[in-house]
A and B are shown apart, each in its own frame.
Chain A
Amino acid sequence: MNYQFDFASLLPYWKEFALGVWLTLQLSVISTVIGFVLGTLCAIGRADGGPWLRGIIATYVEVIRNTPLLVQVFLVYFGIATLGVHVSANMAAVVALVVNVGAYTCEIVRAGLQSIHKAQLEAAECLGLSRKQTYWHVIIRPAIERVYPALTSQYVLLMLASSITSQISAEELTAVANRIQSDTFRSFETYIVVGVLYLLLSFVVRIALWLLGLGLFVRRRKLGTAL
């Protein structure tokens, strides 16, 4: 192997790499937050809704979980354009990621909802809690607390999967890398740098979500159980 590694020629691009990291973080945080809300609502609908709503949500979850994100991204990006609405690649990327992660969140949160014991609901009734109060204090919060580790892994995977949106030229780290490598012809080095950046990002996101969990679920921390 006579290859000369040349990372120095990538140095002038450090600002672009940093921008790519920032854009990827933005993209994933926005999709995570909206996807979490969507997924949780779907989980509640699937547990508590009428047969029609349950059927629609179940179909949505199965279709999304059994088709590749890449195809979903294409469908959203080109599909919206066919409807005559022009949206930016970034907007399409967010929509596709939200639709995607919403389905996974729904399944995870549903598992959490199912893990709430019936006796808890009876206890809530005995205490005279309203339906809303019961939902918030007895069902949703403990359920999410219980599945929080699974959600964390899912959102780290979402951050990594956001790289796929580079295929419709949404602005994020991988898209930035594609541009840099065609500028510098230093493809291998570029993707090594990008790989390391994603690795760091996934550690940072994991730690951030862990800290968020510590802050959100104070009760559990006091009990000293594993998060």
Chain B
Amino acid sequence: MPSFSFVHLEFLAWAAMWTAGLSVIAFLGGGLLGFLVALARVSSSGALRTAAAVYIQIVQGTPLLVLLFLIYFGIAILGFDQVPAIIAAAAGLIIYSSGFLGEIWRGCIESVPKTQWEAAECLALSRWQRMLKVILPQALRIATPPTVGFLVQIVKNTSLASVVGFVELSQAGKLINNSIFEPFTVFIVVAVFYFAMCFPLSLWSRNLERKLNVIHR
């Protein structure tokens, strides 16, 4: 039986690129959708607020694994049989990230002091102007550290994309382990790869928190 070698390491490194790629897709897509969700959560329309709240509850109340299965089988039902695994994986992760980012950003928007809203209103700015020119620039500062922190969650959760057959880092680890059965070595290396991707993000998030330190200003 062959043992863990450079070829395997190369395969894992290649799979790590897919993990990174999927994370970027999930963050960009989830960020866009999550921004809309956050705006809906603080909108003036009650129906929109409720709809966004229900969406967040559903996304946060079901495991990502179940979400991925639902999308995978749901796409098949819609009649697209030969959909590449990356579509299902990306769709699942985008929905997942949008639910969490939406809620994080809502908190950030709401933590901008109320007097800022009132001041903007006194300046006779329209609701959109108030949002874009007064509130969001301030919310952005507050939102940066937790958003970077959530990136770590996204990277880690791409590991679940393996259940829909997407070959990323975890799935690659499983494949190698199936052929050489050295689980300890293989999964330690896989863990090291994840750590190398996530730890800098964690440090960055902590640094930003200290630097921007908006709450204790």
A residues near B, CB below 8 A? 1-3, 62-63, 65-72, 74-75, 78-79, 81-82, 160-161, 163-164, 166-167, 174, 177, 187-188, 191-192, 194-195, 198-199, 202-203
Task: Give the residue name and chain of the A residue nearest to B75 (CB).
Answer: A188
Q: Is B190's CB within 8 Å of the partner chain A?
A: yes
* Residue of B163, B173, B191 contacting most chain A CB atoms (<10 Å): B191
- The reply to whether A202 and B61 form a contact with Cβ atoms under 8 Å apart is yes
Find chain A residues with CB under 8 A from B66 CB. 163, 174, 177, 191, 194-195, 198
Known: A79-B184, A191-B69, A198-B63. 20 other contacts (CB 8 A): A1-B79, A3-B77, A67-B191, A67-B194, A70-B162, A74-B170, A74-B177, A75-B183, A78-B187, A160-B62, A163-B63, A177-B69, A187-B73, A187-B76, A192-B70, A195-B66, A198-B66, A199-B58, A202-B60, A202-B61
Residue among A72, A188, A198 having the largest count of chain B Cβ atoms under 10 Å = A188
Q: Are A78 and B202 in contact (CB under 8 A)?
A: no
Number of A-B residue pairs at CB separation under 8 A: 114
Taking a contact as CB atoms closer than 8 A, the residue among B73, B187, B194 that contacts A66 in the complex is: B194
Of B65, B76, B77, which contacts A163 at CB under 8 A?
B65
Residues of B within 8 A of A63 (CB): 191, 195
Residues on B with C-beta less than 8 A from A75 are: 183-184, 187-188, 191
Contacts of A3 in B (CB 8 A): 77-78
- Contact A167:B194 (CB < 8 A) given known A68-B170, A195-B66: no
Judged by DSSP, the binding face of A is: helix
Do the beta carbons of A71 and B159 come within 8 Å of each other?
Answer: yes
Contact of A164 among B65, B69, B173 (CB under 8 A): B65
By the criterion CB–CB under 8 Å, are A66 and B70 in contact?
A: no
Q: Which 4 A-B pairs have the closest CB atoms?
A: A78-B183, A66-B198, A68-B159, A163-B63
* Size bin of chain B's contact surface: 35 or more
Residues of B within 8 Å of A167, CB to CB, are 163
A71–B170 contact, CB under 8 A?
yes
Find chain A residues with CB under 8 A from B91 CB.
none
Task: Pick from A82, A174, A187, A191: contact of B184, CB below 8 A.
Answer: A82
Complex Cα distance, B78 from A188, in Å, reads 11
The reply to whether B77 and A1 contact each other, CB–CB distance below 8 Å, is yes
| B contact residues around A198 at 8 Å (CB) | 61-63, 66
B residues near A68, Cβ cutoff 8 Å: 156-157, 159-160, 170, 194
In the complex, what residues of A have CB within 8 A of residue B188's CB?
75
- What string of 1s and 0s marks CB contacts (under 8 Å) between B11-30 and chain A? 00000000000000000000
Closest Cβ of chain A to B32, distance in Å, is 24
A187 & B69 in contact (Cβ 8 Å cutoff): yes
* Minimal Cβ-Cβ distance residue in A for B198: A66
Q: Which residue of A lies closest to B188 (CB)?
A: A75
B194 to chain A, nearest CB (A): 5
Residue of A67, A161, A188, A199 with most partner-chain B CB within 10 A: A67
